[in-house]
Amino acid sequence: MTTARKRIFLLGSTGSIGRQTLDVIASHPERFEAVGMTAGSDVASLIEQAQRFNCGVLGVGRQEAGDDLRASATAATVGVGLDAIGDLIEQTQPDLVVGAISGIAGLGPVLRSLSLGIDVALANKEPLVAAGELVTTAAARAGVRLLPIDSEISAVFQCLEGRPPEHLHHVILTASGGAFRDYPKEQLAQVTPAMALDHPTWNMGRKITVDSATLANKGFEVFELKWMFDLDFSQIEILVHHQSIIHSMVEFIDGSTLAQLSLPDMRFAIQYALTWPERLPTSYPRLNLADAGPLTFDTPDFDRFPSLRLAFDAGKAGRSYPVVLNAANERAVELFLDEKIGFTQIPEFVEHALEEHEPVDVKSLDVVMAVDAGARQAVSRMVPRR
């Protein structure tokens, strides 16, 4: 029996997750086909990928890259801007959309895909942070699936599979601890962008690498867990595990705990999101526990890494606070990478933005984007003039 190839529309193909998704697609050409690809503005990489994967539907999210794309991809169907990317998805009718744009920019295309009745494999966590309820409601309304790509969320997904939700007691979300887990507070203030971009275990995009160093990324994963599995914030515990071998665990009501393990290579979780509920072989290096050495565990330090506390606080406060948490962080990370603010100012600016915020109900994409824009402006105003 031959199985039809799964037709995949890849949002963010030129990024770290996007490229690794193409690796997975290339490793099973009989099973997967890339029918659409998009970038932010890296047209040269997008065209190279389109040629390699024989893909005729291409988009860029950034208007300023539109002319370049139109001139370079004369044989392809092209779209410019996030709405146009949504139109491309509608025309292409893929079996699965992979959401691997970085930041809140991915929210519109993800919501559009879900409302079109298309399953989404989601790496892009910011939409779940800022608008988890909108995203999960859109999926439920259309009767489609959200499949996690983020390794910790995939771990919980795999541990929970086939079990009734009432058997779950709580989730143990593991954290590498970030590049500066052993730094005293004073030394954290001296961290430069170059230091923050040099992550010990994973090779990721710039924004998530900085988020991993501040532990904002771990705070965002708390939101992913909450929304993907309908959890209460009190059911999520964070455990520092330096080796990134155990990608997370679940404890059941009877006190039994299950864990999911693999080498830290995102292609395992990406492939599972693409093949679910099936499994296919992989050729990537495998875990050998005898070689891996000791696995260690520790509690997180909420004092040195206030981004963790801010995530729980904003999550519990609800309404539009999580939108501000995300947007203020995106802006503060940009300012840090531009050397306009220091490393420890990232959570300080986020906290100020949350304190200043007048909350509203988050009923639509438009409300999210309006609150997002306001929070970014608020953070920009906090930068001291030189």
Residues forming the site for ligand NDP (CB under 6 A): 12-18, 38-42, 61-62, 82, 100-102, 105, 123-126, 150, 202, 204-206, 208, 266
For ligand NDP, give the closer residue by CB, 243 or 252: 243
Minimum CB distance to ligand NDP, residue 377 (Å)? 18
Minimum CB distance to Mg ion, residue 295 (Å)? 17
Phi/psi of residue 24, nearest 5 degrees: -65, -45
- Residue 36's binding partner among ligand NDP, Mg ion, none (Cβ under 5 to 8 angstroms by kind) is none
The β-bridge relationship of strands 246-252 and 257-261 is: antiparallel
Region at 236 (left for phi over 0; alpha for psi -120 to 50; beta for the rest): beta
Neighbours of 141 (CB within 10 A): 11
Q: Which residues bind Mg ion (CB under 5 A)?
A: 150-152
For ligand NDP, give the closer residue by CB, 189 or 287: 287
Angstrom CA distances, 286 to 201, 218, 245, 291, 357, stand at 15, 25, 11, 11, 47
Minimum CB distance to ligand NDP, residue 2 (Å)? 32
Distance, CA of 347 to CA of 304 (rounded, Å): 11
The answer to whether 266 and 20 are in contact (CB under 8 A) is yes
Distance, CA of 247 to CA of 33 (rounded, Å): 28
Distance, CA of 284 to CA of 288 (rounded, Å): 13
Minimum CB distance to ligand NDP, residue 43 (Å)? 8
- Residue 152's binding partner among Mg ion, ligand NDP, none (Cβ under 5 to 8 angstroms by kind) is Mg ion
For ligand NDP, give the closer residue by CB, 240 or 269: 269
Whether the bond between 384 and the residue before it is cis, its omega within 30 degrees of 0, is: no
Minimum CB distance to ligand NDP, residue 202 (Å)? 5
For Mg ion, give the closer residue by CB, 152 or 372: 152
Phi/psi of residue 122, nearest 5 degrees: -115, 120
The answer to whether 126 and 103 are in contact (CB under 8 A) is yes
For Mg ion, give the closer residue by CB, 200 or 359: 200
Neighbours of 4 (CB within 10 A): 8
The answer to whether 320 and 373 are in contact (CB under 8 A) is no
For ligand NDP, give the closer residue by CB, 62 or 309: 62
- Residue 215's binding partner among ligand NDP, Mg ion, none (Cβ under 5 to 8 angstroms by kind) is none
For residue 296, how far is the Cα from the chain centroid? 25
Minimum CB distance to Mg ion, residue 84 (Å)? 30
What would the two tokens of residue 21 be? Answer: 């998704």
Minimum CB distance to Mg ion, residue 268 (Å)? 12
For ligand NDP, give the closer residue by CB, 30 or 366: 366
- Residue 16's binding partner among Mg ion, ligand NDP, none (Cβ under 5 to 8 angstroms by kind) is ligand NDP
- Residue 148's binding partner among Mg ion, ligand NDP, none (Cβ under 5 to 8 angstroms by kind) is none
For ligand NDP, give the closer residue by CB, 6 or 206: 206
Minimum CB distance to ligand NDP, residue 109 (Å)? 8
For residue 333, how far is the Cα from the chain centroid? 15
- Residue 15's binding partner among Mg ion, ligand NDP, none (Cβ under 5 to 8 angstroms by kind) is ligand NDP
